[in-house]
Chains A and B, each alone.
Chain A
Amino acid sequence: MPRVLVQFAHPAFERSRVHRRLLAHLPRREGITLNDLYEEYPAFDIDVAREQALLLAHDVVVFQHPFFWYSTPPLLKQWEDLVLEHGWAYGREGRALTGKQVLHVISTGGREEAYQHEGLNRFTMRELLAPLEQTASLCGMVWAPPYVIHGTHRLSEAQIDTEAQRYGQLLIDLHEARVDLRATTRYPSLNHALAGVRVEGDR
């Protein structure tokens, strides 16, 4: 069964409504690992060897983070800069991550309509994530469109709980290979694709 690594990055977790709930519903089981980056590296002194070992030990890498100014929190950018070394993750010799799957799980305050060409944000989520998609591609990884929880500002507590349960189920499905991310690449987001890509046991 594919092993799932959740790379979680939130600089102000204590203020977060959504991610706190998402983490609370994270399935506790062998094969799904949570790596809380801001808790591990509050001073940004990332342990590159440890991070590389974690990547090697897993098949699916889920980056879970809020969407601040159309990008990842700064520690995640630092993580990319330091961990995805030339000669290891990319370059002529860099094959360590080839074939692994990458998924970004992102919360945004704005609603999905705002992330359209004619919307407030003028670009789609997929377009805004282009640098991350290309990073994965350069490392030979399989890029899945983002799993987005939109409109968090207006979500009620009950709705957030529903979202959290869905997310937990997604991680279980990934671990049990019931979702194949390779088949999702043409969709604008994983949320759209999910119906079509559940391999078996669809709800």
Chain B
Amino acid sequence: MNEAGLLVHAFVYLAAAVIAVPVAQRLGMGSVLGYLLAGVAIGPFALDLLGTGGQDVMHFAEFGVVMMLFVIGLELQPALLWRLRGPILGLGGLQVVATTVLFAVLAVALGSSARAALAIGMTLALSSTAIVLQTLNERGLLGTAGGQSSFAVLLFQDIAVIPMLAIFPLLAEPGTAVAVAAHGDPGTLVSQLPAWGQTVAVLGAVGLVVAGGRFVLGPLLHQVARTRLREIFTAATLLLVVGIALLMTAVGLSPALGTFLAGVVLANSEYRHELESDIEPFKGLLLGLFFIAVGASIDFALILAQPLLILGLVLGIVSVKLAVLLALGRLFRLSLDQSLLLAFALPQVGEFAFVLLAFANQQGVLPPDVTGPLVAAVALSMSITPLLLLFNDRVLLPRVGTRTATEREPDVVDEASPVLIAGFGSFGSTIGRLLRASGVPATVLDVDSDRVDLLRRMGLAVYYGDATRHDLLHTAGAARARLLIIALDSPERTLELVRTVRQHFPQLTIMARAFDWQDAHDLLDAGVTHVYRDTLDTSLRVGADALRLLGVRAYRAHRAAQRFLKHDEESMRELTDRRSDRAVYVSAVRQRIEDLERMFEADRAEPELDRDAGWDAESLREEARGGGK
């Protein structure tokens, strides 16, 4: 591909994404479906703008999945991972085993050999980490029971890929193995080593990632951050991810698993947020590219040649996986809603199937006339995932389990609450309880169906769904309410909701939760006047109590905290005004340190936490003594 060709390709991909994704989102379909449709549109069976090289792009774009797992790892503290071990091993293990066995039995029934059937079963058992996590995250559903279970299953599948890759060569029909040793065996440096040597290499690589992440990366990143060049920090982040991916590939492990591990190790690091925000755009673009490539790779010629076969395959695969997931969800005591979410999130076959099927071809495990239709079916199953979730969301869930809204009693129809609370986690629920105890029943919007059920049993008016959806806000009475309290767990979604509300319900007064200064600045910039930093009041209470325990009078400590709160809020607003004038290309790390520095300066300039001069008799005493002379 020459230089002009590269630019043309880039132009085509970017244009397709920029046009298709906003349209898909406006239609409520989510970005993943937008990318997929964009891929179909520019693919060889519609506009045919790509020529050859679509497969190369797909290979390159798979790196987006690697980056996504790095980011996911960053958000997963080891402690949390340990807490998820039950679902990962139990739910994930059962899903992979049960699905593999079912598909293998079906394949045998359809005339496959036992070896080929096992390969097919394992391939189809996997789901698409990229599509599922992107979609669930976009809807804020990752924190729900169904979202967590989906995550656990996906994680187990990612781990299970490693033994699968090891087993595949053994499944080859004797005598059919093509000469693949040259490049077919997934190119590992260690494959020449004896078995114990390979094991040592694998353990060594994993140990290197864990120990390096623990002890070396922190100081290293510190040095890089001190250059205060944002792009160098970004380069270091990319270098880290690429390096780990290479290392893992070299010893025959999944690069996604390796970067995930590195992410988990770095989850407790102080540079977590910087790493995350630096990798985020690359991850997003590459994932988008990946989805486009999947869309473009759908072989419509094959589908048109054997429409019934392909359609049957897709339907069969999806319904078997769906049934297994639904049964497992119920077995693991998820509520019906959450089981449905799990089942409708994971019924597609994952991107790893492309790798495994190609691999199976090379190894002679499966003949091309089997893998061809399977690849098409896999791509289609991935494409319909957003549609299935949409179906679950809009058609199925409103009819079974937790309803979007409970049917109101006729007599309370007009008594719409003046307050909406978006998000009812620990932050929102405290607000809601206080308001309720004060006789102001708030209307709640939440995405966690288990929580919604509980709240409804408690008699609250709860709407189930994504609070950033304009129609849901409308149904919940946003047009008549006076206050919207945003207590969501994510700064991005908070900003999104702010924008929706300012556009559609300008009369609503917004009170928004912010997590740190950065969010607070963003919210103030977005025009929200009532901004509440998550931990501010708690810190002040701890500070005041610390003063008390040191022997300071309770009332003095109380007044000091009150004053400090006011002073801190004022400094923050000043800082926001000043920041908006400044260049934006300051690294996030540097920005936070500068903010802190300014705060300290402001503290020094105005330290009058103790200026209750009205209670100070010193001047009176002086006057009295002077007058007495």
Q: A42 is contacted by which of B554, B620, B621 (Cβ under 8 Å)? A: B554
Give, as a whole number of angstroms, the nearest-CB distance from B44 to chain A: 71
Q: How many residues of B contact A (CB 8 A)?
A: 16
Interface contact A38-B624, CB-CB below 8 Å: no
Comparing A8-16, A46-54, A128-136, A168-176, the segment that makes contact with chain B is A8-16
Which residues of the partner chain B approach A77 to less than 8 Å between Cβ atoms?
none
Taking CB atoms, residues of chain B closer than 8 Å to A166 are: none
B628 — which chain A residues lie within 8 A by C-beta? 154
CB distance from A75 to the nearest CB of B (A): 8
Least distance between B290 CB and chain A CB atoms (Å): 56
* Cα of A13 to Cα of B616 in the assembled complex, Å: 10
Partner of A11 from the list B615, B617, B624, B625 (CB cut-off 8 Å) is: B615
Interface contact B617-A39, CB-CB below 8 Å: no
Question: Contacts A109-B617, A153-B617 given: A14-B556 contact, CB under 8 Å?
Answer: yes
> CB of B470 within 8 A of chain A?
no
Report how far A73 CA is from B511 CA in the complex, Å. 36
The yes or no answer to B557 lying at the interface (CB within 8 A) is yes
The residue in B612, B615, B621, B625 that gathers the most chain A C-beta atoms within 10 A of its C-beta is: B615
Q: How far is the CB of B608 from chain A (nearest CB, A)?
A: 15
Q: Does B555 contact A (CB under 8 A)?
A: yes
Closest Cβ neighbor of B615 among chain A residues: A12
Q: Is the interface of A mostly helix, strand, loop or mixed?
A: helix
Contact A11 B621 (CB under 8 A): no
Residues of B within 8 A of A15 (CB): 615-617
Q: In whole angstroms, how far apart are the Cα atoms of A38 and B552 in the complex?
A: 12
Is B553's beta carbon under 8 Å from chain A?
A: yes
Contacts of B273 in A (CB 8 A): none
CB neighbors of A among B518-556 (8 A): 552-556
Chief secondary structure at chain B's binding surface: helix
Please name all residues of chain A whose beta carbon is closer than 8 Å to the beta carbon of B499 when the two chains form the complex: none
The answer to whether the Cβ of B502 comes within 8 Å of any Cβ in the partner chain is: no
Q: Assess whether B567 is interfacial by the CB under 8 Å rule.
A: no
In angstroms, Cα B610 to Cα A11, docked, is 12
A39 contacts B554, C-beta separation under 8 Å: yes
Interface membership of A158, Cβ < 8 A: no
- Whether A11 and B557, one on each chain, are in contact in the complex, defined by CB atoms closer than 8 angstroms, is no
CB neighbours (8 Å) of B625 from chain A are 153-154
User: When the two chains form their complex, are residues B553 and A14 in contact, meaning their CB atoms are under 8 A apart?
Assistant: yes
Distance between B196 CB and nearest chain A CB, rounded to angstroms: 68
Number of contact residues on A: which range applies? 10 to 19
Q: With A109-B624, A153-B625 in contact, do A11 and B612 touch (Cβ < 8 Å)?
A: yes
Let me know if B555 and A39 touch, CB within 8 A. Answer: yes
A154 to B620, CA, bound (A): 10
Q: Which of A133-169 contact B (CB under 8 A)?
A: 152-154
- Let me know if B558 is at the binding interface, CB within 8 A: yes
**Alpha-carbon distance A153/B628, docked complex (angstroms):** 11
Nearest residue, chain A, Cβ from B623: A153
Closest chain-B Cβ to A133's Cβ sits at a distance in Å of 25
Question: What's the Cα separation between A11 and B553 when bound, in Å?
Answer: 9
The contact of A153 among B558, B616, B624, by CB within 8 Å, is: B624
CB atoms of A153 and B620 under 8 A apart: yes
**Least distance between B547 CB and chain A CB atoms (Å):** 11
A38 to B558, CA, bound (A): 10
| B620 and A38 form a contact (CB under 8 A) | no
- Complex Cα spacing A13 to B552, Å: 10
A117 to B299, CA, bound (A): 106
B556/A12 in contact, CB under 8 A: yes
Residue pair A109, B620 in contact (C-beta under 8 Å): yes
Task: Provide the bound-state CA to CA distance between A43 and B617, in Å.
Answer: 24
A1-B620 Cα distance, complex, nearest whole Å: 41
Contact of A39 among B553, B615, B620 (CB under 8 A): B553
Given contacts A109-B620, A153-B620, A153-B625, is CB(A42)–CB(B555) below 8 Å? yes
**Are B615 and A154 touching (Cβ within 8 A)?**
no
In Å, the complex CA distance between A15 and B558 comes to 16
Cα A153 to Cα B624 with chains together (Å): 7
Q: Please indicate the chain B residues that have their CB under 8 angstroms from the CB of A109 in the complex.
A: 617, 620-621, 624
In the bound complex, CA of A11 to CA of B554 (Å):
10
Residues of A within 8 A of B612 (CB): 11-12
Chain A residue, CB-CB nearest to B554: A42
Q: Given the complex, which residues of B lie within 8 Å of A153, measured CB to CB?
A: 617, 620-621, 624-625
Most buried by B among A12, A38, A39, A68: A12
A12 near B554: Cβ-Cβ < 8 Å = no
A38/B617 contact (C-beta < 8 A), A11-B612, A153-B624 known: no
Residues of B close to A11: CB separation below 8 A: 555, 612, 615
- Determine the residue in chain A with the shortest Cβ distance to B552: A14
Assembled-state Cα–Cα distance A15/B615 (Å): 8
Chain B residues with CB under 8 A of A68: 615
Find the B residue at minimum CB distance from A37: B555
**A12 to chain B: which residues have CB within 8 Å?**
556, 612, 615-616
CB distance from A70 to the nearest CB of B (A): 14
Contact assessment for A13 and B617 in the assembled complex, using a CB-CB cutoff below 8 Å: no
Residues of A within 8 A of B624 (CB): 109, 153-154
A12 to B552, CA, bound (A): 11
Which residues of A line the B interface, CB within 8 A?
11-15, 38-40, 42-43, 68, 109, 152-154
Can you name 15 A-B residue pairings with CB atoms under 8 Å?
Answer: A12-B556, A12-B615, A14-B552, A14-B553, A15-B616, A38-B553, A39-B555, A42-B558, A68-B615, A109-B617, A109-B620, A153-B624, A153-B625, A154-B624, A154-B628
10 smallest beta-carbon distances between A and B, as pairs: A12-B615, A153-B624, A42-B558, A42-B554, A42-B555, A38-B555, A153-B621, A39-B554, A109-B620, A13-B553
| Given contact pairs A68-B615, A154-B624, a sample of 18 additional A-B residue pairs in the complex whose CB atoms are under 8 Å apart | A12-B556, A12-B615, A14-B552, A15-B615, A15-B616, A39-B553, A39-B554, A42-B554, A42-B555, A43-B558, A109-B617, A109-B621, A152-B617, A153-B620, A153-B621, A153-B624, A153-B625, A154-B621
